[in-house]
Chain A
Amino acid sequence: MQSNVPSTPASLTLPARRFSTFQIVCSVLFILTFLGSYKLAQVKPLLLFETEGRRNIWKFVTGMFPPDLSWNFLSLLGRPILETIQISLMGTVIAVVIGFPIGLLATSSLTFKGILYERELAGSRPRAMLRKGSYLLARAILSLFRTIPEFVWAFMFVRAVGLGPFPGVLAIAISYSGMLGKVYSEILEHVNPGPLEALQATGASRLTILLYGLLPQSLPNLVSYTLYRWECAIRASAILGFVGAGGLGQQIEISMRMFNFNQVTTLVAILFVMVAGVDALSARVRNAILGRSSV
């Protein structure tokens, strides 16, 4: 009978707020990591305010103005600017060429599961293993490509094939093919399966299903993401010059090393204008492709 006794209206008062174990563990780990990192990274905020640091920063800031706009300097920049754009374009296109096929292999709905394989004979185990194997291999390659920063790729390619824009293109191509391939496969895995099923019912082959079912659905997203990556490539290719892979970065590094900070101001301003221009351009194209009204 005891169980029938209605609970006391104590439950009307708000329960005291309790932290879950997960939150407590996370906070403790966070604090420990913070303390450990603080010690390890040799953080000395006072360094910023010491006489020497202060003098250096002041020298830098005053050195930055006025920006160097002399014709001598500006005329040097035409080629690096164009080179930066060329590297980003070429690199992105090759990244698509490498990333797209690997991305297809890394799409689980294309290689081994989902409606395209519902009717696959259960008996053919070796084939299934092969499919799964190629899927895993493609994923591993993509993750290797994109996990190593493009900067490190550029460094190695400069060593392998020499200075100039060519290693820059290769670095962007490799690391961006990893990113593009991964995102392509995610986009392809999340298409609406209805049209695929309909095509399959007509007896279409897998290639036909890919061409007429998958791609038409996902093309706008694929193109839009590629354009977004191209924006990132412009920024990246400007930086790659630091290791001798051509473009604006090389000029930034030279000016920095020569303590010509007023040139750095000019270069950063140019970089800003370039990136903003490409941003605006690609935003327009992307909106047009995705059928949104332009912002």
Chain B
Amino acid sequence: MAHTPTQAAGLAGAKRRDLLSTPNLIFLAGFLVLMAWSYVGTEFSLRGLLGGESAVQILTYAKKLFPPDLSTDFLLKTGYWTIETFAMSFLGTILAVLIAFSLVFLSSRNLMFTGLLFEMERRRPWVRALRTVLYLSAKAALNLLRTVPHLVWALILVFAVGLGPFPGMLALGIHTGGVLGRLFGEVMENIETQPIEALQATGASRLQILFYGILPQVLPEFVAYTLYRWEVNIREAVILGYVGAGGLGQQIQIAISLFLEHRLLTLILAIYLIVTVVDSLSAYLRSRLA
């Protein structure tokens, strides 16, 4: 039987053809079609960008930005707006933690109705139904908070409580509350079951299990996620100013609309500074945690 060498050749051939297999080609063709479609749809012009009209426009605009406005008066104001933006992101994140933490227990399946904690539960369908309903409504609430973009929340809240950093902070808190609630929930549903089982074996009540078996496991991860979202929030706080929620964003909108390009550059530098500071602070705190 001379099947060994042919098989080997077949294997080599198969390997070579692998890259150009039909699914790969279909995928590639689909991707190219999508790209062509997007290229046309977005009125993108590569030629304009590489040395054509758009490139000139962008360069002209970039030149107008320099030099930044460094007058003491404006720098002081920028400092104030920067701190305002920081305050917005800080309080927003705290509000988000409050929202997420109060909903996460209700929205975790393993705390509400299934798994280890409920193995020994007597069959009482209505209790179970009640628990399921609570779980589903908490889940739905978190989804709602998360789905509405923070900019839309900000518009709603500016409409409700007026201009200023307060609605911005609320918008950040509400949207991020939904996001953190989901992240916290994932942590909660993936905890180690052994400590819980051990506690349960000692006859601990569910509340005791929560305090001694579950919280010690999840809290460090909650804090890490919160710090991470804070980094996101400082960027979003900048954006929210656009709809009237105070801080740097509002000033950027003013500077752009009134063609105050030198001031715009100062504000952008301030964003760079505050975002970098928050990023490194959060990275430092997370490294201390780990």
- Which positions in A face B, CB cutoff 8 Å? 22, 26, 33-34, 36-38, 40-44, 47-48, 53, 56-57, 60, 82-83, 85-87, 89-90, 93, 143-144, 147-149, 151-152, 155-157, 159-161, 164-166, 168-169, 235, 238-239, 242-243, 246, 249, 252, 256, 264, 268, 271-272, 275
Contact = CB atoms under 8 A, between A and B. Distances in A.
B64 to A, nearest CB: 9
Interface string B11-40: 000000000000000000000001101110
B43 A43 contact: no
Contacts of B203: none
Contacts of A89: 34-35, 38
Interface residues on B, range: 35 or more
Contacts of B162: 47
B160 A152 contact: no
A242 B161 contact: no
Interface in B233-264: 235-236, 238-239, 242-243, 246, 252-253, 256, 264
Contact of B252 (A36, A48, A155): A155
22 contacts: A22-B288, A41-B91, A41-B165, A43-B166, A56-B159, A57-B160, A60-B160, A82-B41, A86-B42, A87-B38, A90-B42, A93-B35, A148-B271, A149-B271, A151-B238, A156-B61, A156-B264, A159-B256, A160-B57, A239-B239, A242-B243, A271-B147
Interface stretch (B80-88, B102-110, B194-202, B205-213): B80-88
A37 B159 contact: no
B180 interface: no
A37 to B, nearest CB: 3
Interface string B83-119: 1101110110010000000000000000000000000
Interface of B: 34-35, 37-39, 41-45, 54, 57-58, 60-62, 83-84, 86-88, 90-91, 94, 147-149, 151-152, 155-156, 159-162, 164-166, 168-169, 235-236, 238-239, 242-243, 246, 252-253, 256, 264, 268, 271-272, 275-276, 279, 285, 288
Given A147-B275, A156-B61, A160-B58, A268 B90 contact: no
A89 B88 CA distance: 32
B90 A152 contact: no
B256 A156 contact: yes
Given A53-B161, A238-B149, A152 B268 contact: yes
Given A22-B288, A86-B38, A90-B44, A143 B276 contact: yes
B151 A165 contact: no
B41 A83 contact: yes
A152 B159 contact: no
Contacts of A33: 90
A156 B246 CA distance: 19
A157 B160 contact: no
A239 B171 CA distance: 15
A239 B151 contact: yes
Given A168-B42, A264-B152, A271-B149, 16 more contacts: A40-B83, A44-B166, A53-B160, A60-B156, A60-B160, A83-B41, A93-B38, A147-B275, A149-B236, A151-B238, A151-B239, A151-B242, A152-B238, A156-B264, A165-B42, A272-B147
A253 B236 CA distance: 17
Nearest to A36: B87
Contacts of B276: 143, 147
B34 A147 contact: no
A87 B60 CA distance: 24
A147 B91 contact: no
A166 B44 contact: yes
A243 B257 CA distance: 11
A249 B243 CA distance: 13
Contacts of B166: 41-44, 47
A48 B160 contact: yes
Contacts of A144: 272
Contacts of B57: 160-161
Nearest to B87: A37
Contact of B37 (A40, A86, A143, A160): A86
Contacts of B41: 82-83, 86, 165
Contacts of B155: 256
B38 A242 contact: no
A37 B230 CA distance: 14
Contacts of A22: 288
